[in-house]
């Protein structure tokens, strides 16, 4: 393919060199004449393992060149990858001026170009940036319609400094956010056979958000490991030994198991252990702000559910699920119990169903909890899900018991369904059904 790449900084230079190495005809574009001259001389404008040799070879073989001329680059290529910077402003917001400027320049050339051209953003931008900045700018200066007259995609990069060339060929995934199938098809053809990784095609906003989710989660993991390590140090424990053992568990610790947005966590282990560890840190005068934020963040998720219920404007509420998760009768620290307590205090007319919570069969700590802590709630339990559904104007799905999926099929029964667990993976928020995080 004939590809132009805008921005010969870190991402752009790596992308240009590697694509040229794979046989594509690549034109690098930058307003900095020094960078352009370096590339045309077969030299790298960035310091990164292996890229110097790659650029030298591809320039010598005639597959890579650079220019400051946008018209020359766009007219001579089928697709443009935009890799310009998106730095923070002083208040933390993104400065998209470089993206806007390049979009304006490309748009002016597209106004003169008859062939279908695809503009691909590799720059990291917050969700909404493509539709609010990139596409309107391209359309304004080209006088053409995105998706019809030219293509638009976003293709986030997952390159780590120091191993960027390796990461280019071995990414964890390839994500294509597309305005339409034709745009995505052109970009997918560029990646076809180039890397061995899952290729996901999705909408623009999801692709924009994926990159931020990745990077913020990496930051979160670094901060988490450091706080655990700091506690270990105070206790005379080798933090690396602890985390090495932690990382050997790929069934729960390193897995997608806990990474599904939904309701707050509960049960007899997680809340108790978070409190105990953060208390231990306090006794050693050790500040662990990330760990200290876990319980407040968990409470916020209960408040999100309350806000959704109150927004429905209905006082007759049915709750499916009382235990903290499906398949158990454990109600200790169940966030659903906290939710119900709040609603009762506000005068809501409640009915509850959970087939796993039955006073005749509950024993031990759970029985004591019912008698001593929530006897008033237990009295609201119904014998069948139908009783709750028939009572409710607003129905809340509180845990993942598969039986509760049947409630989604009763179109005539409930005015509003608020799902805290995504009981049906295919469910989408609409006027009647609403998910807490989707």
Q: Which tens digit of pLDDT belongs to each residue from 51-67?
A: 999 999 999 999 999 99
Same domain? For 115 and 139 the reply is yes
Same-domain status, 307 and 411: yes
Residue 196: predicted pLDDT: 86
> Is residue 408 very low, low, confident or very high in pLDDT (cuts 50, 70, 90)?
confident
Provide the token pair at 319. Answer: 């709750």
Q: Is 340 a member of any domain?
A: yes
**CATH number for the domain including 182?**
3.40.50.720
Rounded to 5°, the CA angle 263-378-264 comes to 10
How confident is the prediction for the chain on average, in pLDDT?
94
Do residue 170 and residue 303 come from a single domain?
no
Alpha-carbon distance 175 to 155, whole Å?
6
pLDDT band at 427 (very low <50, low <70, confident <90, very high): confident
d(CA 190, CA 77) in angstroms, rounded, equals 13
For residue 358, pLDDT beyond 90: no
Residue 370 located in a structural domain: yes
Which of 202, 221, 243 is the last residue in one of the domains? Answer: 202
Let me know whether 91 and 209 are in one domain.
no
Q: How confident is the model at residue 357 (pLDDT cuts 50, 70, 90)?
A: confident
At 298, is the pLDDT very low, low, confident or very high (cuts 50, 70, 90)?
very high
Q: Where are the beta strands (DSSP E) in 354-393?
A: none
Over residues 85-123, the pLDDT tens digits come to 999 999 999 999 999 999 999 999 999 999 999 999 999
pLDDT tens digits, residue range 304-353? 999 999 999 999 999 999 988 898 888 878 999 999 999 999 999 999 99
Q: Which of 356, 299, 301, 300 has its CA nearest to residue 323?
A: 356
Q: Do 343 and 248 reside in the same domain of the chain? A: no
Q: Is residue 359's pLDDT more than 80?
A: no
Q: Which residue's structure tokens are 């294509």?
A: 176
Asked whether residue 404 carries a pLDDT value surpassing 70, the answer given is yes
Order of strands, sheet of 394-397, starting from the edge strand that comes earlier in the sequence: 349-353, 316-320, 394-397, 416-419, 433-435
Handedness of CA 50, 23, 106, 174 (dihedral sign): negative
| Domain around 247 | 204-254
Per the domain annotation, does 284 fall within a domain?
A: no
- 83-99 exposure pattern, b = at least 16 Cβ within 10 A, e = fewer: bbbbeeeeeeebebebb
User: Are 5 and 25 contacting, i.e. CB atoms less than 8 angstroms apart?
Assistant: no
Cα–Cα nearest to 159, from 202, 207, 123, 126: 123
Number of domains observed in the structure of the chain: 3
**Do 113 and 180 have their domain in common?**
yes
Between CA 227 and CA 232 the distance in angstroms is: 9
Identify whether 86 is part of a domain: yes
Mean pLDDT value across residues 270-281? 95
The overall pTM is greater than 0.75: yes
Q: Confirm whether 270 is domain-assigned.
A: no
> Do 17 and 137 sit in the same domain of this protein?
yes
pLDDT at position 435 is: 95
Q: Is 175 left (phi over 0), alpha (psi -120 to 50) or beta?
A: beta
Does residue 262 fall inside a structural domain? no
Nearby residues of 264 by Cβ (< 8 Å), 6 or more positions away: 298, 299, 301, 302, 335, 338
Selection from 142, 27, 139 nearest residue 80 by Cα? 27
Whether 6 is in a domain gets the answer yes
Residue 280 lies in a domain: no
Contact 331, 358 (CB under 8 A): no
Specify the pLDDT at position 407.
Answer: 87
Instruction: Kindly report, residue by residue over 229-248, the tens digit of the pLDDT.
Output: 999 999 999 999 999 999 99
Q: Does 332 lie in the same domain as 214?
A: no
Q: What is the pLDDT of residue 430?
A: 85
Q: What is the pLDDT of residues 113-158, one digit of tens each?
A: 999 999 999 999 999 999 999 999 999 999 999 999 999 999 999 9
CA distances from 168 to 14, 46, 207, 390, 437 (A): 8, 15, 18, 56, 32
Point out the residues that are catalytic: 269
Q: Does residue 282 have a pLDDT over 90?
A: yes
Domain match, 31 and 101 both? yes
The pLDDT score that the predictor gives to residue 332 is 79
Q: Are residues 341 and 192 in the same domain?
A: no
> Domain check: are 173 and 311 in the same one?
no
Q: Does 366 score more than 70 pLDDT?
A: no
Residues 396, 418: contact at Cβ < 8 Å?
yes
pLDDT in tens, 2-35: 999 999 999 999 999 999 999 999 999 999 999 9
Per-residue pLDDT of 393-403, as tens digits, reads 999 999 999 99
pLDDT of residue 55: 98
Query: Which contiguous run of DSSP H or E holds residue 4?
Result: strand 2-6
Q: Which of 202, 233, 266 is the last residue of a domain?
A: 202
**How far, rounded to the nearest angstrom, does the alpha carbon of residue 207 sit from its chain's CA centroid?**
8
pLDDT at 370: 74
Q: What is the DSSP letter of 192?
A: T
Same domain, 11 and 142: yes
């Amino acid at each position: 393919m004939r590809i132009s790449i805008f921005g010969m900084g870190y991402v752009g230079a790596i992308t240009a060199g590697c694509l040229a190495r794979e046989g594509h005809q690549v034109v690098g574009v930058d307003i900095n004449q020094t960078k352009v001259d370096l590339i045309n001389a077969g030299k790298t404008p960035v310091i990164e393992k292996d890229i110097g040799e790659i650029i030298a070879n591809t320039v010598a073989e005639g597959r890579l060149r650079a220019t400051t001329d946008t018209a020359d680059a766009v007219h001579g290529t089928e697709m443009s990858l935009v890799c310009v910077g998106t730095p923070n402003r002083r208040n933390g917001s993104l400065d998209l001026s470089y993206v806007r400027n390049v979009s304006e320049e490309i748009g002016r050339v597209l106004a003169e170009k008859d062939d279908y051209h695809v503009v691909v953003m590799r720059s990291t931008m917050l969700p909404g940036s493509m539709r609010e900045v990139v596409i309107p700018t391209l359309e304004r200066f080209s006088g053409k319609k995105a998706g019809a007259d030219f293509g638009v995609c976003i293709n986030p990069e997952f390159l780590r400094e120091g191993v960027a060339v390796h990461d280019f060929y071995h990414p964890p995934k390839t994500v294509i956010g597309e305005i339409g199938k034709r745009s995505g098809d052109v970009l997918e053809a560029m990646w076809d056979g180039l890397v061995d990784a899952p290729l996901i095609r999705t909408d623009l906003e999801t692709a924009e958000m994926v990159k931020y989710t990745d990077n913020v989660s990496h930051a979160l993991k670094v901060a988490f490991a450091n706080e655990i390590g700091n506690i270990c140090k105070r206790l005379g424990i080798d933090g690396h030994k602890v985390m090495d053992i932690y990382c050997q568990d790929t069934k729960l610790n390193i897995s997608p198991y806990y990474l599904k947005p939904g309701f707050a966590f509960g049960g007899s282990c997680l809340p108790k252990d978070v409190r105990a560890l953060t208390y231990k840190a306090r006794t050693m005068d050790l500040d662990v702000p990330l760990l200290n934020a876990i319980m407040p963040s968990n409470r916020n998720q209960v408040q999100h559910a309350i806000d959704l219920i109150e927004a429905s404007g209905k006082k007759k509420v049915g709750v499916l699920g009382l235990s903290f998760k499906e398949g158990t009768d454990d109600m200790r620290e169940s966030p659903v119990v906290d939710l119900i307590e709040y609603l009762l205090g506000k005068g809501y007319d409640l009915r509850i169903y959970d087939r796993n919570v039955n006073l005749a069969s509950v024993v031990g700590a759970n029985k004591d909890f019912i008698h001593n802590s929530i006897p008033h709630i237990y009295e609201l339990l119904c014998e069948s899900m139908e009783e709750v559904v028939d009572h409710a104007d607003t129905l809340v799905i509180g845990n993942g018991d598969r039986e509760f999926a049947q409630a989604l099929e009763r179109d005539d029964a409930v005015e509003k369904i608020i799902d805290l667990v995504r009981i049906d993976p295919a469910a989408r928020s609409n006027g009647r059904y609403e998910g807490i995080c989707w």
